[in-house]
């Protein structure tokens, strides 16, 4: 029987808003010499969520919903937001090893690893290095591979307005997304953008060596993609599916690059159903 997930609030009441701050806890953990901001809530099996280029500034509705059944752990990557920028951070592979250290540091076992965009890339790189701490892997519109003939969007060339428009299928949601309110929030946006550029500038958002090692992923894997993803088109999905053993590809219709935001209820149901089915 599928676990029941609490319904998510309507977008009109919650676009870009943080859930009640009492619903999760925040801490700063020093891991491999890097002070790392972590949000956490819930109980049950651990679900480690790796965010995309925008950072992990807010506790989002899908996190709150999944925390009813899982121990949701949301670190902010080194170099992003409230986390330090360590001297050792040069590439996505460094973050893959860092999150293996995070798993050890927090004493996690049988982890459900979920990553979106560059977080999905990190998750895939981590799983090729060592799948043993993982129970399942969910990749959400992951960067990391290059597919001949598929033209990716270039976020470094988009204006802020173009970025919002291109991230979402539903333009009402794009228009409702919050903008930085003060200088501090502007600096966080710039910090995240700078680190994203460092990690994904050249070659653009992929590791030429990753495809030859994806066969090493040894846990059930779900790949989720929006059918109207203008940044990393859904046509990339079959390549990931074909290279990862025991993987399935699920395309969400009427959805852009952020299924966990734009289609939060559907996304949450799919992840929970997949995790339960893989148990």
pLDDT at 279: 72
Contacts of range 19-25, beta carbons closer than 8 Å, 24 or more positions apart: 19/58, 19/59, 19/60, 19/61, 19/63, 19/64, 21/59, 23/59, 23/64, 23/67, 24/59, 24/63, 24/64, 24/67, 24/72
Output the average pLDDT for the chain: 93
Count H helices and E strands in the chain, helices first.
10, 8
Give kind and range of the element (H or E) at residue 53: none
Q: Could you report the per-residue pLDDT of 168-194, keeping only the tens digit for each?
A: 999 999 999 998 999 999 999 999 999
How confident is the model over 51-63, as pLDDT tens digits? 999 999 999 999 9
* Residue-level pLDDT at 23: 85
* pLDDT category of residue 16 using cuts at 50, 70 and 90: very low
Residue 14 pLDDT exceeds 90: no
Tens of pLDDT, residue by residue over 191-231, are: 999 999 999 999 999 999 999 999 999 999 999 999 999 99
CA separation for the pair 123, 128 (Å, rounded): 9
Which tens digits make up the pLDDT trace of 95-113? Answer: 999 999 999 999 999 999 9
CA neighbor of 99 nearest in space, from 132, 77, 128, 121: 77
Q: What is the structure's pLDDT at 3?
A: 47
pLDDT at 8 over 80: no
Q: What angle do CA 75, 208, 159 make, to 5 degrees?
A: 60
Predicted confidence at residue 10, as pLDDT, reads 37
Number of Cβ atoms within 10 Å of the Cβ of 252: 22
Say which residue the tokens 């280029």 belong to.
Answer: 53
Helix runs in the chain, H state only: 11-14, 61-66, 92-105, 118-129, 160-167, 171-176, 183-200, 237-243, 259-262, 264-278
Residue-level length of the chain? 279
Tell me what the mean pLDDT of segment 254-271 comes to.
98
Q: In angstroms, rounded to a whole number, what is the distance separating the alpha carbons of residues 136 and 210?
A: 19
pTM of structure: 0.93
- CA 139/CA 114 separation, integer angstroms: 6
Chain-centroid distance of CA 157 in Å reads 22
145-175 residue pLDDT tens: 999 999 999 999 999 999 999 999 999 999 9
Share of the chain above pLDDT 70, in %: 92
d(CA 6, CA 4): 7
Question: How many degrees, rounded to 5, is the angle at CA 237 between CA 161 and CA 229?
Answer: 15
Helix axes 118-129, 183-200, angle to 10 degrees: 50
Percent of the chain with pLDDT over 90: 91
58 touches 106 (CB < 8 A): no
Q: Give me the sheet containing 46-50, strands edge to edge.
A: 25-31, 34-41, 71-75, 46-50, 111-116, 134-140, 221-226, 247-252
- Please report the pLDDT score of residue 134 as a whole number: 98
């Amino acid at each position: 029987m599928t676990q029941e997930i609490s319904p998510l609030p309507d977008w009109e009441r919650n676009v870009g808003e943080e859930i009640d701050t009492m619903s999760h806890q925040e801490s700063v953990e020093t891991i491999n010499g890097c002070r790392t901001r972590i949000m956490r809530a819930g109980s049950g099996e651990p679900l480690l969520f790796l965010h995309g280029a925008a950072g992990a500034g807010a506790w989002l509705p899908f996190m709150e919903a999944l925390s009813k059944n899982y121990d949701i752990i949301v670190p902010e990557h080194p170099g992003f937001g409230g986390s330090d920028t360590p001297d050792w951070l040069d590439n996505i592979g460094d973050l893959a090893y860092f999150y293996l250290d995070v798993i050890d540091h927090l004493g996690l076992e049988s982890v459900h690893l979920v990553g979106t965009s560059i977080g999905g890339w990190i998750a895939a790189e981590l799983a090729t290095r060592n799948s043993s701490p993982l129970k399942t892997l969910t990749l959400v519109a992951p960067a990391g591979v290059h597919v001949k003939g598929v033209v990716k969007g270039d976020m470094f060339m988009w204006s802020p307005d173009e970025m919002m428009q291109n991230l979402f299928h539903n333009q009402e949601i794009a228009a409702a997304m919050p903008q930085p309110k003060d200088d501090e929030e502007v600096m966080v946006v710039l910090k995240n953008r700078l680190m994203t550029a460092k990690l994904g500038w050249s070659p653009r958002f992929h590791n030429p060596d990753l495809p030859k090692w994806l066969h090493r992923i040894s846990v059930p894997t779900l790949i989720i993609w929006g059918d109207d993803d203008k940044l990393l088109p859904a046509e990339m999905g079959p390549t990931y599916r074909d290279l990862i053993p025991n993987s399935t590809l699920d395309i969400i219709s009427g959805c852009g690059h952020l299924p966990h935001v734009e289609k939060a209820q559907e996304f949450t149901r799919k992840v929970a159903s997949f995790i339960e089915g893989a148990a």
